[in-house]
Amino acid sequence: MPPFSRSLQAARAFGLSLFMMTLACQDSEPEEALEQQSPRLVLEPGQLVVSITFDDARASQVNAASLLEARGLRGTFFVSSGRLGLPGYLTLAQLRSFQAAGHEVGGHTVSHVQLPTLDVDSQRRQVCDDRVALMNAGLRVTSFAYPSGARDATTEQVVIDCNYNSARESGGLRTPDSCAGCPYAETVPPQDAFAIRNHGSVQRTQTLADLQGLVLRAESAGGGWVPIAFHEICPGPCPTSETYGINVSTFTAFLDWLAARASRGTFVRTVDQVIGGAVKPPVNGPPLPDAGTPPPTQLLKNPSLETDSNADGAPDCWQRGGYGANAFTWARTSDAHSGSWAQRLSLTSYSSGDRKLISLQDLGACAPPLTTGHRYRVSAWYKATAAPLFKAYYRNASGGWVWWAQSALLPTRGTYGYAEWTTPAAPAAGLRLSVGLALERVGTLTLDDFRLEDLGTSPFTPLEPGPPPAP
């Protein structure tokens, strides 16, 4: 598949500015970095290599890097370029210091999306433009990890076409309670370099003995490769909301134990050191299909939530989002305001955060453009036993999605009713828009028939005297 000639304009501008800053503090030309080639690792019989990997660019991973370095170990950090510098996430300066210390930085898509839910061009933008931005920032990027391990044959080919050397999935190796027919370790080289197997992500309920068991069973089975995926490094016991976290004391004890096993043939290497190979040139993703065309009156795609082409329950161009400590269920329901389908959210317990249905936060195939200074009116039909509210997010130049604004609480309704909300003037930092309805308390919310309109620069747009006709 030929390289694409242009990428998303904002991602290109972001990458170019970072690249110029990087040149100012580098002694060598970027072409020299592309010529660097890692030798492929060769194991002796019975040897085991362990890769300590980290997903999602969590800010707490700075502590993990320091702990690794103190023991002569190095890790692989899979990052989403659009999240860098946002609250709770790593910065580019930290990643550059990681690389200077011998750690590896890998790609994880621009905005951490499950790739198979997107069309192929959107997948290319997420994978290719993420690598372009990281490499233009002076980072050596050869390894990729699929967000949530979600992949299919199309996604795997996209990663290959974006010039990665490898990609890690989630699962495929045997544990005491899963994948009974699977091996205990990946082979070196792996059976599929773009579907590298592991034991899934480390969870807060796993103990030091559990982590040691991943290594001991692989040693007993004859060696090979065990990539271990961490996320949050909790300073104390991880809260119940942090499913993929590990207490720093448990993590430290595991590193101490692992470092001592080098004498029996078990050692730690980054993913790039295991796979080997040259750093291939960056490849841009395709341009946005709507570049240069005026926005339609209805800015949302699939606004009545009817189409679900992959049958996963979530409507195309929408995502079921949320955060915090709460319990919830989603359903695709035939109890629709119009058409055949609506979405139903049940929040059964609540301590913090929210749950919401919002328009898909992608790089532009579904997310409508945002114009500086313009106001936007979002409306929907809903019924609810607890007060919902509208929420709006914008995408910045690096591809990260940022909370922007929200409405006041809306009334509860036993039958379908109409609600609308007008946003503040769009900030200059916003390039794309995502909107939807959320719950922040126990109750149910059934929602359908959204609409999003660009109201221009009018300082005030009154509410309509009545709802528009049902679509």
Length of the chain: 471
101 compared with 20, residue with greater pLDDT? 101
Please state the rounded mean pLDDT for residues 5-30.
35
Per-residue confidence (pLDDT) for residue 398, from 0 to 100 = 87
Residues 177, 181, 184, 187, CA torsion sign: negative
Residues 270 and 103 sit within 8 Å (Cβ to Cβ)? yes
Measured CA to CA in angstroms, residue 91 lies from 30, 81, 137 at distances of 21, 9, 11
Q: Say how many Å lie between the first and final Cα of the chain, rounded.
A: 41
Q: Torsion over CA of 88, 93, 95 and 99, rounded to 10 degrees?
A: -160
The CA distance from 268 to 226, in Å, is 9
- Is a pLDDT exceeding 90 seen at residue 378? yes
Whole-structure pTM value: 0.71
Structure tokens given for 80? 């989403």
The H-or-E segment that residue 246 falls in is: strand 245-247
- Classified as helix, coil or strand, 375 is strand
Per-chain mean pLDDT for the chain: 88
Residues 273 and 41 sit within 8 Å (Cβ to Cβ)? yes
Residue keyed to tokens 């269920």: 329
The CA distance from 448 to 437, in Å, is 10
Please state the rounded mean pLDDT for residues 21-43.
53
Q: Which of 232, 226, 230, 229 minimizes the C-alpha distance to 214?
A: 226
Percent of the chain residues topping a pLDDT of 90:
78
Per-residue confidence (pLDDT) for residue 304, from 0 to 100 = 95
Per-residue confidence (pLDDT) for residue 396, from 0 to 100 = 93
- Is a pLDDT exceeding 80 seen at residue 469? no
SS3 content of the chain, % helix, strand, coil (to 5): 25, 30, 45
- Which residues on neighbouring strands pair with residue 53, listed in sequence order? 76, 229
For 321, half-sphere exposure in the C-beta direction (CA atoms, 13 angstrom radius) is 21
Please state the rounded mean pLDDT for residues 219-223.
97
- Is a pLDDT exceeding 90 seen at residue 107? yes
Which of 31-45, 315-329, 347-361 shows the lowest mean pLDDT across its residues?
31-45
Measured CA to CA in angstroms, residue 101 lies from 14, 137, 159, 227 at distances of 25, 16, 27, 20
Give the strand pairing for 166-172 and 196-198.
Answer: parallel
Structure tokens given for 135? 């490499």
